[in-house]
Structure 1
Amino acid sequence: MTIRNRLTVLFTTIIAALLLAFALVIYFSFAQNREEEYYSLLHHTAITKANLLLDARVQPAVLQLIYRNAENSLFQEEVAIYDTSFNLLYHDAVDIDKVKETRQMIDEIVHKKQIRFYQGSLQVVGFLYHHKQNDYVITAAANDESGYGKLRDLKYTLIIAFFIAIIFIYLAGQFFASRALKPVSDLVDEVEEITATNLDLRIKEGNGKDEIAELAITFNAMLNRLEKSFDAQKEFVSNISHELRTPLTAMLTELQVTVEKERDNLFYKDSINHAISDAQKLVRLSNSLLDLAKANYDHTEISFKEVRLDEILLDARNDVLHNHPGYKINIIFEQEIEDDDFISVLGNEYLLKVAFMNLIENGCKFSNENESSVAISYFSDKTILRFQDQGIGISEEALSKIFTAFYRGENKSFTGGNGIGLSLTKKIIDLHRGSVVVKSILHSGTTFMVELPHV
């Protein structure tokens, strides 16, 4: 069932329930009023007939004749008058005797002063009547044909009106549901036009205030993220293709030249060394891409535990020196470690080591002396690491782009690289809820300051 139909059915059901409750209240209120009014009318008519008998001394035969020939049902009420000792003083129709009074009934009327009850379709009232120092018991019974007819007409009217109202309510519900969901239908039509080839399209946000507008705004925000992701993916694939093509082409060219004719051993050795160098570039690029992919994982997919930053930093230093024996790396503890918690964070040991190695290697390879220093200081809520070098520095224009994947500034001529390291480092630090800030002066050196919160 569509939302429009569900809304229509829900709307119709609620209004139908309210109308039914309203109709039942009207019907039962009318029935209660009819009953009360007819009991009062019976009581009043019975007293009138008793006064005619007792005060006006109208002969019982005359009253009985009026009863037998009455066309109005109101005057067809059967009245009986007794004294308190159950002696019958008057009866409209003894031969019919609809009520069939008993001594027990008379005593109950004397005791309660008045009783009311139904006998079949007849309404019966019995009451104690005081007249000129004497007490009489009067009963009156009649069928309210007119009242029941009006009640029956009211019932049929309410039933017919109820079903007609339901039909109109259902149609109105369809109309209003369609109007209410029209923005959603328009939204669906606009969304169907958006594909991977035109992610720049956006849906209309309406008045920007209601729930539909909020949905449109949220959807447009999602499209913005998707467009950026697609663009980044295209750029990533393009950069990867370029980075892979360069060493592969160099290797292929070197090998083709080598096999064209016989060479001496020295030439073969140089060719193999060049191929090995290109292969090592491919290995470094592959490792960087794997690390970058791992850093892009969902936070919940990466295992975190309490780790010591000083131990990770020492491991990173040893790995860098193993790969580049000519590098010089100084680690400076600016204060004594009084509490292990001050130097510990909740993190992934492997990723943090990759980030530290990237920053150390970056400082060493862009320094004339291949030297980098790391200073550690800690506070109650965070640890700060400063990676410093006295290298060539970074221009102000390049500073805003150094954390972009595959970006390489004017210093690319100084040393090799693929432009992934700093981008990967930034993602890893962000993943650990930390921050990294860079300050640099051309020809004077660069400082990367990393802040990581404690456990």
Structure 2
Amino acid sequence: MKLQNKLTLLFFSIGTIGLVLFHAAIFYFVSEFNFEDFFKRLQARAKLAAEINIYPDEKSIAYQEMRSRYLEKMEDEKDYVIRIDSLTRMQFERPVSLPETFYKTVVSKGDARYNKNNNFYYGKLFKTQHGNYIVIVTASDPSGFHELETLRKVLLIVFVISVLLTYVGGKIFSRYSVRPLTAVIRNVKNISANNLHLRLKELDGNDEMSELVLTFNNMLNRLETAFATQNNFVSNASHELKTPLTIITAETELVLAQKGISPETEASAKTILYHADKLGHIITSLLGLAQSGFDGKKQNWQKIRIDELIITVADAVKKIHPDSVIQIDFSSLPTEESLLCTEGNINLLQLALSNIVGNACKYSNNQLVDIRVSVENGRIAISITDRGIGIPESEQQHIFEPFFRASNTSDFEGHGIGLPLTLNIIRLHKGSIGIRSEEQKGTEMQIILPVSNNFLITA
């Protein structure tokens, strides 16, 4: 998940939880306020009911008149007066079916409250000279219940709107937050090995993004220095290494050209010449390996038809391995010729494919080697299959390491540089290499290359 989406989700989650708590708190406190207000009204009526029913005298008539004239008649309002003989024994009439805890609370604490299904009950204990009484007043509150239902609907609508606004705000917040990072990513994508002199624009401030840009620029400085050093080495190594090697080879050939040299001298000279030639091949391969992985500049890049390149590679390998048997399968090629074209350096690609096809012929003792070419989803697939000695499973992960040779290749000449060089070339062309091998059964190497962008047909 992208950082922007994570920030949006985090902002949305925190905002939604906050809105839930906020709206729940509003509904809770409003409902508690309504309940408290209603119970206070019941409490006032309980006192009036006590004055009217427990103390019947001239004032009772006045209280009754005041209640009927000035107090609003509540919905389903009823009064109950219960005389109790003893406060220790709960033996008295219960005109209202309420939980026993309600009556016990009235007796022990002096009053109690209870509500169920929008029916409210308030009970109060009155101690008089004539005895002890419990007055219970009950009523319903449809208007209050309706107000709470309206509040619930309003809060729900406001909550939905707030959630949507929170999501939009989260998107805006995340986009604004990652904008500097997006700019850095866009600029980094434009920096490659052939323009390492470019730097990211430093940001104002001392925040993490400014530190990231500064760190990346410092890394580019180090990379540019390292690449420049490698470039100098690659440029000078050919002359510095090959010149003395050429002299050694020439002097050795002069020795061999002389007449009358002893057999021991001739044998030694041939050994020197053999190893000088071998060293020359190693140096050439190492220089090729270094150059292929150096800068990625598209020097001498052109449109290359893979089918024609495969034919050229097969002919070149047959000249090196005259006894090789190479079979090319073009049956899966598309009818659109432009889909067979990739972009790259034809000499490098020919070298990479020749390495793989040559290895297939060499390590299979010139048994049949199949080359199959196909195109799918804008990618060119080249499969090279042999019936040779294969590669031990535990060693397959190391075959692209320089100078590594499988344990079963001791009878074959090689330096362990061809496949690393091939991998660098394929990566340089934005491709990939896959391998599937089994000892004593053979090896299949598959190279994937992109179809040229200029020729790629999109639906």
Scaled by the length of structure 1, the TM-score of the pair is: 0.49
Which one has the largest radius of gyration? 1
TM-score, normalising length from structure 2? Answer: 0.49
